[in-house]
Structure 1
Amino acid sequence: MNLFRLAGDMTHLVSVVVLLLKIHTIKSCAGISLKTQELYALVFAARYLDLFTRFNSLYNSIMKLIFLGSSFSIVWYIRHHKIVRRTYDKDQDTFRHVLLVLPCLLLALLINDKFTFTEVMWTFSIYLEAVAIVPQLVLLQRTRNIDNLTGQYVFLLGAYRALYILNWIYRYFTEEHYVQWITWISGLIQTLLYADFFYYYFQSWKNNERLHLPA
């Protein structure tokens, strides 16, 4: 494992910790899209079907369990915790996420490395992860004023994917025959979706202001 991969994993992990801190400690999910969290739960469920049948390393297995457990816990909190669910802005979080799931599933059936159930599900998870942030970005655009923890959470998610692109570049130049077009293109699309958010995040950080997205 190289430094970029480790940094990406740790950034992803910290993003989850920040979100759980907001939900569990402050008892609020204001500004958080349940639709995006449900998509991430589906992403990890589809990707880690081999959790108990294929062992790569203890690190790999632990990270799979963390992301599976945390994603479903977040969805449960927002849906069922009597205090947290009252802070969920259901009226603003209206993006129809089925419009992302079905095209990603169809694309995975058509474009994959091997037409087996686990491989198609893994490919589906890659495609879906690339666009899972869309409901969250739409919600932020609608609410416009973004609290600090929500802004940090979304920024860390974007930074995680950007670090993974550096990991892929590093591996391409250091490993023979390392080519993963599906992962690369999906990851690039995912990172580009954050471009507008990154711009305003750094502007607010530079000016020491609260993050505010324009209408």
Structure 2
Amino acid sequence: MKLVIIDTGCANLSSVKFAFDRLGYRAEITRDRKKIQSAEKLILPGVGTAMAAMKNLHDRRLIETIQNLTQPVLGICLGMQLMTAFSDEGNVATLNLMEGKTERIPDTGLSLPHMGWNNVNYQPDHPLFAGIAQGSHFYFVHSYAVLPNNNTIATCDYGVPFSAAIQRDNFYGVQFHPERSGKNGAMLLRNFVENG
């Protein structure tokens, strides 16, 4: 399995790689376009702001490369948000891989960022969540979210419902951090590699 973690210049690349190492998969972190194009499965990680991440992808000439990928791609946290068309965080156009936009979580009196464990409910029988119980807990750290739309495959609630996972064709995204979500996160990463 040729598994590639796209080097977005964001901070959590090594923790994502270690999560795959623990599962017995060898993942390579790279910004090399040829390696990205020839990978069997790809991870688009991200922490920080949408504006900074899009600038990194632009400077590395990776935007069009990512938009033209036909193999399975899993966006994590900010990486998921970048898959939508637009982010209110910096008012920046993102990768436009699917409809939807990223916006600040509405103020319902709860503190931001939404940080810690929260339960996730997914579309029944979705292969990304195979073997994971409905309502299982995953680890979140974010102040911006994608509200539920046609591409939502799982939801979470933090004052308002938001997309915990999205998918369109070969592009998958999760708002939570599977690499920090214990056995449920490990199972989801394994499902992506084996079933995605």
Tell me the TM-score normalized by structure 1: 0.27
Greater RCO between the two (CA within 8 Å, min separation 6)? 1
Structure (1 or 2) with the greater helix fraction: 1
